[in-house]
Amino acid sequence: MDIRDIHTPVLLERCLELLGPALERDDAVLVDATLGMGGHTEAFLDRFPRLHGIGLDRDTEALRIAEERLARFADRVTFVHTVYDGIADAVAASGGSVDAVLFDLGVSSLQLDEADRGFAYAQDAPLDMRMDQSAGITAADVLATYGEGDLRRIFERYGEEKLAGRYARAIIAARGRESIERSGQLVRILSDATPAAAQRAGHPAKRVFQALRIEVNAELVAVEHAIPAALRTLRVGGRIVVLSYQSLEDRIVKRALAAASTSTAPAGLPVELAEHAPRFRLLVKGAEQASDHERARNRRAAPVRLRAAERVRPDEAKDIV
């Protein structure tokens, strides 16, 4: 099956609209910090024939698919195997400054659709959940080695799970009987530990699986470092768009963009000095959501939150022009 039939990029036209004004120059550079299967980057390379793309992804399988998909643009795209918080090193070859950055955060279509990756609670598979399968601990490792307090912490913090303590105790008890190595096992443990009333509120595994995925991939730490790093790479006139799919990610993005677009002048100054003026301006009010039409044609757009900003001033320590 053609990759285009199974992968529909989220909010594609809106991303093109928001980042387009920064990509008209002859030597424009776009960083797709979460390349995935290359759908967004393909559309940008099609739309802007003088554009060079830099695609980042920690998932080697995603990079392989994207390279195949984007083969016709081989002389205009660079692929980098890295987590998105390594963006500064990834763009160093272009002089360290770029015109646009796109983040499409969260788990990718490829990772969700491949059952043996262990991301989906609806499919029985080994509990891996690593976005980069060449490194790091797996979800099974977390379940086997973390204490009850640590399990409760990640379920509460990364899954916002009200039954975190109950689930942590159930996992500790279950692993004393047998190792927890498959998603089906974990789903049964969580279901058995969930009161009937709570089961009617949604699948009991949803938030725990999210929490494990975030812990295994250190996702929120990466986002906290990546957004400020990406902002520093943008030239004056450069733009950033970030697509988030859960509240914890979106909160980090919101804070980073708000800080960059707010004056640093001390309260009470009669005149704002140039060095205190905001370096960025927000391009959308709040967080935009997908339209009903987009949600209908692409179910993965349902939870998306889009934020965007444009650099209007250079950093004082680095004249980005």
Write down the domain spans for the chain.
Answer: 3-110+219-311, 115-217
**DSSP 8-state code for residue 265:** P
Is 214 within 8 Å of 148 (Cβ atoms)? no
Alpha helices in 70-147 (DSSP H): 87-90, 109-113, 139-145
| Of residues 37, 49, 32, the one with CA closest to residue 4 | 37
Mean per-residue pLDDT of the chain: 90
pLDDT for 2 beyond 60: no
Which residues belong to the annotated binding site for S-adenosyl-L-methionine?
38-40, 57, 84, 104, 111
pTM: 0.89
Give me the mean pLDDT over the 179-194 stretch: 95
> What is the C-alpha to C-alpha distance for residues 102 and 121, in angstroms, rounded to an integer?
28
Q: In 3-state terms, what secondary structure has residue 243?
A: strand
Is 143 within 8 Å of 170 (Cβ atoms)? no
pLDDT digits (tens, 9 = 90+) for 270-321: 666 666 689 999 999 999 999 999 999 988 899 999 999 999 999 875 544 4
What residues form DSSP beta bridges with 182? Answer: 126
Q: Do domains 3-110+219-311 and 115-217 have the same CATH topology?
A: no
Is 41 within 8 Å of 71 (Cβ atoms)? no
- Domain topology for 115-217: DNA polymerase; domain 1 (1.10.150)
Q: Which CATH superfamily hosts domain 3-110+219-311?
A: Vaccinia Virus protein VP39 (3.40.50.150)
Residue 105: both structure tokens together: 């955060």
Alpha helices in the chain (DSSP H): 3-6, 12-19, 39-47, 60-69, 87-90, 109-113, 139-145, 148-159, 164-175, 183-193, 196-199, 206-217, 219-233, 247-260, 292-297
- pLDDT of 134 reads 82
Residue 123: both structure tokens together: 């499919």
